Amino acid sequence: MKKLYTQISSIQTNVSLFLGLMLIMGLPSLFTGCKSVESVTNVGSAIGVATGMLTDSQADSLKKTTIAVARSFQDITPEQEYYIGRTVGAVILEKYRPYTNKSALTYVNILGQTLAKASDQPETFGGYHFLILDSDEINAFAAPGGLIFLTRGMLSCCRNEDALAAVLAHEIGHVQSKHGLQAIKKSRITTALTTIGVEGTKTFAGEQLATLTQTFGESITDITKTLVNNGYSRELEQEADRSAILILERVGYNPNGLVDMLQEMNRRLKPGGLDFAKTHPAPIKRIENISSIIGPYTPVVEPKLRKFRFDRIIAKK
Amino acid sequence: MNVKKTTTLILTIICIGSITALAAGLPSMSVQVKKGEVRSTPSFLGKIVARLSYGDQVQVQGKKGAWMLVDLVDSGNGWIHASALTRKNIVLRAGQTDAQQAADSDEIALAGKGFNEQVENEFKAQNPTIDYTWIDKMENIVISRKQMLYFLQKGGLNPEGGS
């Protein structure tokens, strides 16, 4: 009997020790991960109840579920990313007119979609699509989900297909790493996701629709402000350049096409300009970073047909 | 029964249970893109053998790099890129219970939730000057597998490129 008690007690001790260790290891990460989100939700729930948008029980449920729900831009589903991207694109097109030349449009889409298939995120909810903007400004934008825009000014920085491929691959890099979504303020993501948490039907009712639409509009502004005015951080730009190099190498382009394009851009950019000069690190700085990855410069040598199609469709426009 | 035997029995049951679950539980995944294309080979240049819709569930039979071999409803199987799939169960017509489960768990995603077509329409109504015509036109630009293959071959590029 005494032996049995000793065994039981030994098993209990081991189990307690194991559970204790699990708790010690697990709790800090839980607290650090959720603290800021919880405080946002508490405020949000209080406002929701005070304004009559939420009942007490909905607010309680919201508070409970937020700990599990609210995380970050990574929790935005591909479907939601798609709707965000569509409106970001539409807002960009308020400022720029599309360049509708059919052969140029088809060419950038074949090139762009071929590159996208070689990225780490070849499939998005609505797929990758490319549009040329009829502007001399040197610029390119990637809306979440894969809608990519580049200006004719940017096209003129590309002397060959490898350089144009580099521009598109850089923008695909922004899409695959969800840089656009990262520009959305976290509190808006919490609002969007918690509205999902309290709403069960497919169609949102008036107040919930109003809240979601307001949050949607604010999220679009966060992204377009970053794309058009503020630019991404140097780190995110470097990440997009690294992705571009990888994509170019996978497809068989010389990544020095990116260097060629940046050198040409450096010659053309006007200091203080409202385009890439404003939103991107200086081309020379980017070249330094790219060269540290791909090594010494080797000139782009184009096969005859590759050069021919680029010259015919893009360079002559 | 002494404690040692009981413990052994419990451990054995747990082991057998896990093995059974592993053997039976080939992962089921959901299509998380609007149009899921299943191909004859693990490559975007492979012929399309089936088209799947958002939320469709597939049984994964194998994996090669980032490509998943999945069972087809009619017969046979085919390859779909992992980025088109999610381990979450996508609920197309969610009720309140699904909403609560989705909120509590990483296992479920609700289709049409949050920023959806209804929200886009409401945003359009509030911002009538924003024009989506070219966004819709962009989305309708479809590049075929043949166009892509021709482009790669003529350009002296790598048809095997891609993840």
**pLDDT tens-digit readout, B6-23:** 555 555 555 444 443 344
Tell me the longest C-alpha to C-alpha distance in chain B: 79
Identity of the residue in B95, B132, B155 whose CB atom sits nearest the CB atom of A306: B155
B49-55 own/partner pairs: CB under 8 Å, 24+ apart: B49/B76, B49/B78, B50/B74, B50/B78, B52/B80, B54/A79, B54/A125, B54/B90, B54/B92, B54/B111, B55/B30, B55/B31, B55/B90, B55/B91, B55/B92, B55/B111
Q: Clarify whether residues A158 and A290 are in a common domain.
A: yes
Q: Are residues A88 and A214 in the same domain?
A: no
Residues in B touching A129 (Cβ below 8 Å):
138-139, 141
A148 and A251 share one domain: yes
Residue A24 lies in a domain: no
Q: CA nearest B93 in A: which residue? A: A202
Structural domain of residue A289, as residue ranges?
A: 78-181+232-315
- Residue A211: band (very low, low, confident or very high) from pLDDT cuts 50, 70, 90: confident
Q: With a cut of 50, say whether residue A289 has pLDDT above it.
A: yes
Contacts of B52 in chain A (CB under 8 A): none
Question: Taking CB atoms and an 8 Å cut-off, how many pairs form between chains A and B?
Answer: 199
**Distance to chain A for B19, nearest Cα, Å:** 24
Share the mean pLDDT of chain A.
80
Residue A223: inside a domain: no
Contacts of A102 (CB under 8 A, 6+ apart): none
Residue A202 shares a structural domain with residue A304: no
Q: Are residues A109 and A158 in the same domain?
A: yes
Categorize the per-residue pLDDT at B94 as very low, low, confident or very high, splitting at 50, 70 and 90. low
The confidence score (pLDDT) of residue B146 equals: 94
pLDDT for position B159: 77
Tell me the shortest Cα–Cα distance from B149 to chain A, in angstroms.
Answer: 9
| pTM over 0.90, yes/no | no
Contact at CB, A86 and B119, closer than 8 angstroms: no
A169, A266: one domain: yes
Q: Are residues A48 and A171 in the same domain?
A: no
CB B4 within 8 A of CB B11: no
- Please indicate, yes or no, if residue A9 is contained in any of the structural domains: no
Which of A10-24, A157-171, A216-230 has the weakest average pLDDT?
A10-24
CA distance B116 to B119: 5
Tens of pLDDT, residue by residue over A215-226, are 999 999 999 999
A311 inside domain:
yes
Which whole number is the average pLDDT over B66-93? 90
User: For chain B, what percent of residues have pLDDT higher than 70?
Assistant: 72
Task: Tell me if A2 is assigned to some domain.
Answer: no
Helices assigned H by DSSP within chain A? 2-50, 56-69, 78-95, 102-117, 152-155, 161-176, 179-182, 186-198, 206-224, 234-251, 256-268, 276-279, 283-294, 304-310
**Could you read off the pLDDT of A35-89 as tens digits, one per residue?**
333 333 333 333 344 433 444 444 444 444 444 344 567 778 899 999 999 999 9
**Considering only CB atoms, which chain B residues are within 8 Å of A208?**
none
Q: How many domains does chain A have?
A: 2
Query: ipTM value of the model?
Result: 0.81
Note whether A125 and A45 are same-domain residues: no
CATH topology of domain B3-152: SH3 type barrels. (2.30.30)
The confidence band for B85, taking pLDDT boundaries of 50, 70 and 90, is very high
Angle subtended at Cα A117 by Cα A114 and Cα A123, rounded to the nearest 5 degrees: 135
Q: Do B123 and A213 touch (CB under 8 A)?
A: yes
Q: What is the pLDDT of residues A111-136, one digit of tens each?
A: 999 999 999 999 999 999 999 999 99
Q: Over 80: is that where the pLDDT of A205 sits?
A: no
Domain assignment present for A250: yes
Looking at the fold, whether A125 and A57 belong to one and the same domain comes out as no
Give the highest mean pLDDT range of A11-15, A35-39, A142-146: A142-146
Question: Residue B122 above 70 pLDDT?
Answer: yes
Minimal-distance CA residue of chain A relative to B2: A4
The verdict on A50 and A96 lying in the same domain is: no
B101 sits in which H/E element? helix B96-104
Q: Are residues A262 and A276 in the same domain?
A: yes
The residues spanned by each domain of chain B are 3-152
One domain, residues A118 and A160: yes
Q: What is the mean pLDDT of residues A17-35?
A: 35
